[in-house]
Structure 1
């Protein structure tokens, strides 16, 4: 089990949440502010199996591209999102499966 932390501008957050929930990914969403990606960011926490990481990355990219097709790309944004993958402790696995 891995924990993916994904930080993105609020511009993308609603569509990402909607599309990934539809695809069956479970997540926790946190409104975040600070110096990392400045104001107006959303942080998603995903519990994901190793075999599903690439599918999650592809789904994130597709959702962001969908937003850009609908609304257009914001000029001030250099990246759509930043993500980190962290190994989850084996002690957490039973908690996540309940």
Structure 2
């Protein structure tokens, strides 16, 4: 089992959440601003099996591209999101630090 930490611009948040829920992905959302991209963004946490990571990332990318097409907005960035993959057994210290 892996933990996919995905940081995404708030512009895409609703569409990503909607499309991934329709595909039965379960996620946790954390709102944040500043620091990483110096603007409002949302961090999604996904628990996913290793063999499904590439499918999940592709689903996120498709949701972002669908929204750009609907809103007629082209991204100036090559990537729509940034993600980090952590083995669940290695994520315990990361998750425990947030419970203080």
Same fold (TM over 0.5): yes
> What range describes the TM-score normalised by the shorter chain of this pair?
0.7 to 0.9
Gaps of 5+ in 2: 93-100
Q: Could you list the runs of 5+ residues in structure 1 that have no partner in the other structure?
A: 93-98
2:24 matched residue in structure 1: 24
* Number of the residue aligned with 1:96: none
Q: What is the match of residue 95 of structure 2?
A: none
Name the residue aligned to 1:36: 36
The two structures have a TM-score, normalised by structure 2, of 0.83
Cα deviation, residue 89, structure 1: 1.3
> How many pairs are equivalent?
90
Match of 2:15 in 1: 15
1:74 and 1:39 mapped to 2: Cα distance?
18
Secondary structure of the equivalent of 2:73? Answer: coil
Following superposition, which runs of at least 4 residues in structure 1 exceed 4 angstroms of deviation? none
2:34 partner SS: coil
**Hey, what's the Cα distance between the residues in 1 that align with 2:85 and 2:52?**
12
User: How far apart are the structure 1 equivalents of 2:80 and 2:13?
Assistant: 10
Q: Taking structure 1 as the reference length, what is the TM-score of the superposition? A: 0.84
Deviates more, 1:9-18 or 1:31-40: 31-40
Equivalent runs, 1:1-98 vs 2, <5 Å: 1-73=1-73, 77-78=76-77, 79-89=79-89
